[in-house]
Chain A
Amino acid sequence: MSTLNLTLKIWRQRSAKEKGSLETHKMDNVSTDMSFLEMLDILNDKLEREGKEPVIFDHDCREGICGMCSLFINGKPHGPERATTTCQLHMRSFKDGETITIEPWRSSAFPVVRDLMVDRSAFDRIIQAGGYTSAKTGSAPEANIIPVPKENADLAMDAATCIGCGACVASCKNASASLFTSAKVSHLALLPQGQVERTERAINMVNQMDEEGFGHCTNEGECEAACPKEITVENIARMNREFIKASAVSRG
């Protein structure tokens, strides 16, 4: 284990309506075994002891699965490591003497709540628009009655791995939510259980995404590079196909 001396530039903002700015903090003797959020815990502990308000950021499981943590670190969602959420990022990924800039996700569809915490409820509304099968509790048939080709099940699983963190939106110059939305559209389109509502789902979820104020996809692929769960842009292509097919056959 070794230690680092760092300079942090952290975005502070009281609310979506007020202006924010970067605040500088020096951090000495940061252990390289520490996680990025543990480093912020130590900063907050210090601030609280000084009677100051801690830096607000979302976090929960700290195992890279709940999707609650975010942070735009040195211009990259979830920081420099590939396929790694901020909570799983460790300080050994940084160099002694480095300045680290920490900002919230920036998108008009994700308004800042405070400091580094943003409102991602737009994602919930996209799922509510059709990210489900309408299988009522109790109405399900025997699980093995419909075999699913392993390849499709595996592809569905890859798409369903999305943790809904919003890194795709944060990385995109258009703040598009296409990767997030397409992951759910793909997951259900690939399974027999998702077929009945396939048409409506594609149309309703894409429409909701537009309504929330997310931008359009222009095939930059930044989202795939930023995704901590390695969801691929193949899903966006699949969503576009689903949407076009659905638009042609929809009775709505």
Chain B
Amino acid sequence: MALKSNAPDGDIQTAWTRHKFHNLKLVNPANRRKFKIIIVGSGLAGSSAAASLGEMGYNVDCFCVQDSPRRAHSIAAQGGINSSKNYPNDGDSVYRLFYDTVKGGDYRSRERNVYRLAEVSANIIDQCVAQGVPFAREYSGYLANRSFGGAQVSRTFYAKGQTGQQLLLGAYSALSRQIKAGTVTMHTRSEMLDLVKVDGTARGIITRDLKTGKVSRHAGDAVLLCTGGYGNVFYLSTNAMNSNATAAWRCHKKGAFFANPCYTQIHPTCIPVSGDHQSKLTLMSESLRNDGRVWVPKKKGDNRKAREIPENERFYYLEEKYPAFGNLVPRDVASRNAKNAYDDGLGVNGKEQVYLDFADAIKREGEDAIRAKYGNLFDMYQRITGESPYEMPMRIYPAVHYTMGGLWVDYNLQSTIPGLFVLGEANFSDHGANRLGASALMQGLADGYFVAPYTVSGYLGSTTLDKVTTDHPAFQEAEKDVDDKNTKLLSVNGKKSVDDFHRKLGKLMWNHCGMARNEEGLKKLITELAALREDFWKNVAVVGAKEDLNVTLEKAGRVADFIELGELMARDALNRKESCGGHFREESVDTGEFAGEAMRNDEDFAYVSAWEFQGVGNDQTLHKEELEFEHCKPTKRSYK
């Protein structure tokens, strides 16, 4: 199957405008209420899409696993949201944001999608301000900006260290207005467990009510998947405990191609693991690298306290190796260098950790100024570690944070299943092999507010859909599959807990498919994951009943899917014999001018890997979408 991006040809700067006019049909306002749109997830992408499509007059059903749509994990994003407003007059433009994002993604994203993202980024800020999002402001009353990694301009808008929270609450307020108006029906504590296809087209979903265990069917004319990423494959990540890949994975099993699963982002600044009890990792915002300096002791085994190590015995490795970007190199570069420092035996106190030091910034600007910028982050760090970053440097280490891969979508955000659209982190489209900081919020809201309302309308306006009710055999069959799977999980009656398997999966993935990957490790990983999967279905212990509130059953279903997804990630990583962005293959390293740095291979790998499911445990079929770079010519991605 040839993958068609359906992106318009011709001038990139007018592509989206032309596409909207020439290629996307409209649905007249009186007809919109005849369509039912199912939206799964209520984060930035889901809430903004539900609110916008509801306002337009569509009938929307929105589902989330939490007790309120306001709790989706977008809420935890700290640092900010990028936009090409150029308020600081420092040379930003739509074109520069586009260019930085393609380059930041290590030339593995689709140019036209990224251009559109940069183009609508300005509308997002306008929309959020109109909703009452309390962005940081200057004394003049105008909006403030700060810098993020991978950019030499200040284009990041922020609300303290809680930007995701404020943007999500903005989208949630717009969603709440539509719930009140009756255009959106909200289903909380509901988990999507399968997609229903009728005649090859997405026509509904099967959900489980997490309070009662009741399984139910929902029919619609289009399904929008806004379910976030799959970082929890690694067990320990900055994702929320309930973040999972089940909805996306079950769509994949129903025929939606999964693109670039091996592209995972390891965030350089997280609080290090403190023990085996650890359930998740906490991020310290990238914005801290505006003022914090990263260093390790120059001498191996130097166990002196940070403040006792004199300046000339410290290795500020980012500043020394990358003078142009310094501490603000992109995330993949910063993470890999932290790993290198640790691998060379320079980790602080011999552990997997490096310093992020604010002493100079405090000396320069005063403690109050630093507190005003980062106070809530410093407090959070102190609550978790018991140490004050005002007095000693933070200890940080990389952790899994974001997944650039996801379900394959075309320019309209439609998957390979007609009628199934995928928005936000759940799709693969905009960040290539590495996402720049403050771009996830931008993409989630771009997709939900400004892209899906047009493209979903375009689909509904140009497709003839037969009336389908939940009595259709396809619904019965899908419901039975869900029920069978839950029965099976409950009947294993093994001795190992679900978390035992999840922890083991996480360790295997982190060791062999984490910050560095190689052929031997990946092959071993594939074998071990197959064994883990078999062990799971023989020995997992799932207590409780099917038709009841049952958190163990919920977790078990998700972990079973994570194991299968892990296998695909490993196969994708094995196939991609180059280093790009978050995917670092030890066999593909520069030996010339940039010795030791990741080496891309544009000749053989300038494509999107889109995998077609062929049954559990089997090799999947690889389809390639060749990437063309008309505007951003792939060059060595140097931040020196």
Contact = CB atoms under 8 A, between A and B. Distances in A.
B141 A139 contact: no
A33 B280 contact: no
Interface stretch (B125-133, B310-318, B582-590): B125-133
Contacts of B165: 65, 161, 163
Contacts of B176: 124, 127-128, 131-132
| Chain A binding surface SS class | loop
A143 B68 contact: no
Contacts of B76: 61, 63, 65-66
Contact of B279 (A35, A114, A150): A35
Contact of A147 (B67, B68, B141, B453): B141
Contacts, number: 219
Contacts of B172: 127
Contacts of B87: 144
A133 interface: yes
A39 B277 CA distance: 8
Interface in B510-525: none
Interface centre among B141, B172, B275 (most CB of A within 10 A): B141
Interface string A193-228: 110000000000000000000000000000000000
Interface string B129-140: 111101111111
A119 interface: yes
Interface in B370-399: 379-380, 383-384, 386
A156 B134 contact: yes
Interface stretch (A18-26, A41-49, A167-175, A240-248): A41-49
Contacts of A148: 137, 141
A160 B169 contact: yes
Contacts of B164: 65
Interface stretch (B2-10, B219-227, B543-551, B608-616): B543-551
A165 B285 CA distance: 23
Contact size range, A: 35 or more
B71 A141 contact: no
Given A34-B277, A140-B126, A157-B160, A120 B67 contact: yes
Interface stretch (A4-12, A80-88, A95-103, A231-239): A80-88
Interface in A53-87: 53-54, 56, 58-68, 81, 83-84
Contacts of B450: 137-138
Contact of A66 (B71, B499, B551): B71
B349 interface: no
Given A41-B277, A150-B137, A48 B130 contact: no
Nearest to A161: B162
B549 A113 contact: yes
Nearest to A32: B386
Given A132-B174, A148-B141, A157-B134, A193 B383 contact: no
Interface centre among A52, A83, A120, A133 (most CB of B within 10 A): A133
Interface in A101-152: 113-114, 119-121, 123-124, 127-129, 131-144, 146-150
A36 to B, nearest CB: 11
B627 interface: no
B177 A134 contact: yes
A249 B73 CA distance: 40
A80 B134 CA distance: 30
B143 interface: yes
Given A60-B240, A60-B242, A120-B68, A66 B75 contact: yes
A65 B280 CA distance: 14
A52 B123 CA distance: 52
Given A120-B68, A193-B132, A1 B275 contact: yes
A48 B552 contact: yes
A58 B172 CA distance: 20
A74 B138 CA distance: 43
Contacts of A153: 134-137, 141
Interface string B537-580: 00001011000010110000000000000000000000000000
Contacts of B386: 90, 92
Contact of B132 (A53, A61, A64, A194): A194
B277 A67 contact: no
Contacts of B75: 61, 65-66
Contact of A51 (B72, B134, B543): B543
A197 to B, nearest CB: 10
B264 interface: no
B602 to A, nearest CB: 38
B280 A81 contact: no
A123 B68 contact: yes
Contacts of B280: 62
Contacts of A84: 383
B126 A66 contact: no
A128 B68 contact: no
B576 to A, nearest CB: 32
B241 A60 contact: yes
A137 B52 contact: yes
A163 B172 CA distance: 12
B279 A67 contact: no
A144 B142 contact: yes
Contacts of B449: 137-138
Interface string B46-59: 00100110010000
A132 B72 CA distance: 18
B335 interface: no
A179 interface: no
A188 interface: yes
A127 B168 CA distance: 14
Contacts of B337: none
A59 B135 contact: no
B256 to A, nearest CB: 26
A88 B383 CA distance: 7
Contact of B140 (A1, A89, A127, A147): A147
Contacts of B138: 150
A208 to B, nearest CB: 10
A31 B173 contact: no
B142 A113 contact: no
Contacts of A137: 48, 51-52, 55, 127, 174, 449-450, 453
Contacts of B180: 128-129
Contacts of B154: none
Contacts of A88: 380, 383-384
Interface of A: 1, 31, 33-35, 37-39, 41-42, 45, 48-49, 51-54, 56, 58-68, 81, 83-84, 88-90, 92, 113-114, 119-121, 123-124, 127-129, 131-144, 146-150, 153-154, 156-157, 160-161, 163-164, 187-188, 191, 193-194
8 contacts: A34-B277, A48-B541, A66-B76, A67-B68, A129-B180, A137-B450, A141-B130, A157-B136
4 tightest Cβ-Cβ pairs between the two chains A and B = A147-B141, A132-B173, A140-B130, A135-B130
Given A45-B499, A150-B137, A161-B165, 8 more contacts: A31-B275, A58-B67, A62-B280, A128-B177, A138-B127, A143-B125, A153-B135, A188-B132
